[in-house]
């Protein structure tokens, strides 16, 4: 169980932060950017939940928030060769099952979908874009020679699939896709 007696430590006042391993890195480090975006994604999902997303989406999003804490822990505690990581292929497989379940009831896509529609759907679109940013930060981290072998492949698989899930949930929350806001090329008049 985590117990925090003090919230501030002053140790980050020099622009560094401690990883779970005790190693100190700059707050601009790709690892910090990756787990920071994962944390931001969880906060966006929290806003969606606070806005009244209903079941079964509510339970799925709460489970995903817990997954994101596991993912953040993996990213903040660099492992050697992926050892001791929490996020496994089972996490991604669970998302794939939900995607298939939700997608089977959606109207087929006839155009690209713009963010919007209902408020819950708009939150899912925002969450999807934050998820894609976290994925980009993770790709940067994985491409760093200094970080080779310190992150397993599953976090990337998970984030990639999660952005797909958030997209289909957004469509489901737009009355099964019937309230999707569709892209109309040239409609901006520019």
pTM: 0.88
Quick check: is 45 in a domain? yes
- CA–CA separation, 7 vs 61, rounded Å? 27
How high is the pLDDT of residue 81?
44
| CB 54 within 8 Å of CB 121 | no
Report helix, strand or coil for 82: coil
Q: Which residues of 57-81 are buried (b: 16+ CB within 10 A; e: fewer)?
A: beebbeebeebbebbbebbbbbbee
Residue 23 phi, psi (nearest 5):
-65, 140
Mean pLDDT by 10 residues, the chain (190 residues): 65 68 75 93 97 96 97 82 73 98 92 94 97 96 85 92 98 92 86
Tokens encoding 48: 């969606």
Q: How many domains does the chain have?
A: 1
> What is the pLDDT, as a whole number, of residue 12?
61
DSSP 25: E
Burial level of 186, CB count in 10 A (0-12/13-18/19+)? exposed
Give the domain CATH number at 73: 1.20.1200.10
Beta strands in 44-144 (DSSP E): 113-114
For 67, the domain range is: 23-178
Query: How much is the pLDDT for 82?
Result: 45
Examine residue 15 and state whether it is found in any structural domain, yes or no: no
Residue 17 domain flag: no
């Amino acid at each position: 169980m985590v117990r925090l007696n003090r919230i501030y430590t002053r140790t980050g006042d020099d622009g560094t932060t401690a990883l779970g391993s005790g190693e100190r890195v700059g707050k601009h480090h790709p690892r910090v950017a990756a787990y920071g975006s994962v944390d931001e994604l969880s906060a966006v999902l929290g806003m969606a939940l606070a806005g009244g997303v209903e079941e079964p989406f509510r339970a799925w999003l709460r489970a995903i928030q817990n997954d994101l804490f596991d993912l953040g822990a993996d990213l903040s505690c660099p492992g050697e060769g992926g050892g001791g990581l929490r996020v496994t292929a089972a996490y991604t497989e669970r998302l794939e099952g939900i995607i298939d379940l939700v997608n089977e009831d959606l109207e087929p896509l006839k155009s690209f979908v713009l963010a919007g529609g209902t408020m819950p759907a708009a939150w899912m679109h925002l969450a999807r874009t934050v998820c894609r940013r976290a994925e980009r930060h993770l790709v940067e981290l994985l491409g760093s020679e200094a970080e080779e072998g310190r992150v397993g492949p599953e976090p990337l698989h998970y984030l990639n699939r999660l952005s797909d899930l958030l997209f289909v949930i957004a469509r489901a929350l737009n009355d099964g896709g019937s309230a999707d806001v569709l892209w109309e090329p040239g409609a901006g008049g520019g």
